[in-house]
Structure 1
Amino acid sequence: MSINNLVTNLSRLTIKSLPITRWVHSSNPLLFKTTPILLGEPLKKKKRMDPAIVRAREERKKKKLEKAIRKLEKHARKLKPIGECEIPFDLLDTLNERKRSLPALSSEILDKRALLEKRWANYKREQRLIDVQMLDRIQYSQQRALDELRKESEELYQEAIQPDLLLMPYKVEGPVETPPIENYKSPDGDYKDVSKVW
């Protein structure tokens, strides 16, 4: 096969005649493949160290850990700060500028407000009393009508005391009851831990 034939076979015009496959990119494939770069190098020789230096380093690490443990034990009883309860410093600095001094209310205004509150309380009490009396009248007249109906016909009375299901239609479709799946491990949802670490 000559080079011209190879070039014409792999030219951009003939690539479309190749078997259709799903490409990740939107441009035409050039059918080049690359291999990963392997960065291998020989292992370094371990240097022989003086045992006293190694021991001193381990002692330093041990002391550092003990110091960190003591510090944690010292601050163990302190409560974690709540960020929402802390007031920003820029607000604390401008606290005096933000304070409002309201004028003192006169005794006439205070008396008017107290009288208005009493009048409102009386109005709401009378309104409630009227509502309760109306409900009592309705229940009494209903019971009297049922008693009269019972005197006329027991059959009609039993029909009358049945609840009307079409008055307030109520339909519920809930999940069906299924037996639990054996050895089912419920999946733990993905969440992002944003808790602070002290």
Structure 2
Amino acid sequence: MIGVLNLANAAFRASLISSSHNISTYIHPLYFRATEVLLGEPLKKKKRLDPAVVRAREERKRKKLQKRIRQLEKHANHMKPIFEIDTLPELLQNEKRTRHLSVPLSEKEIERRKSLEKEWCKYKHSQWTKDLHVINSIIKSQEIALKELKAVSKQLYKKAVEFDDLYMPYSVTGPVYTPSIKNYDNPDGEYIETTVKYIGE
């Protein structure tokens, strides 16, 4: 009995050494071993489909893709809606929002306003042409000066053309849409993010 147990222990030790390589070296019938789960199964036979059915499926897929492409092209120029700016159509159609003058304008006043608007347009156009003329003359004089400088000294020309870093930290404070309220106590409130997220952002 002891001899049989020794033989079983020896077979067990040998199988432990060889099990790392998944090679069995034991021959004793008392040794039990569980093999690895290989999850193997016989290959399924491929079903032979009718070529007409395959062609019909491909045609349906192609049509779906073409329809999707047409839809995307149709909405290509549409911009993303900004719900904070857009006004509701119900409010636009509401007659209470329309502003009516208490006294209608006379024909004389309408003509005066039209002539005033025309004069203003003429003034702004002449101002724009003058500014454009001044800018063009400055650019031309600058080009002539740079050519003369390049003829005199190339080092000075390079210094004149190189970028000035002093102009980079540029900050401007201009007029705002609404004037500031004096002694205004800004209340601390909760910030709720309501921005709509779109696919592809």
Given the two structures, how large is their TM-score scaled by the length of structure 2?
0.34
Of structures 1 and 2, the one scoring higher in RCO (CA 8 A, sep 6+) is 1
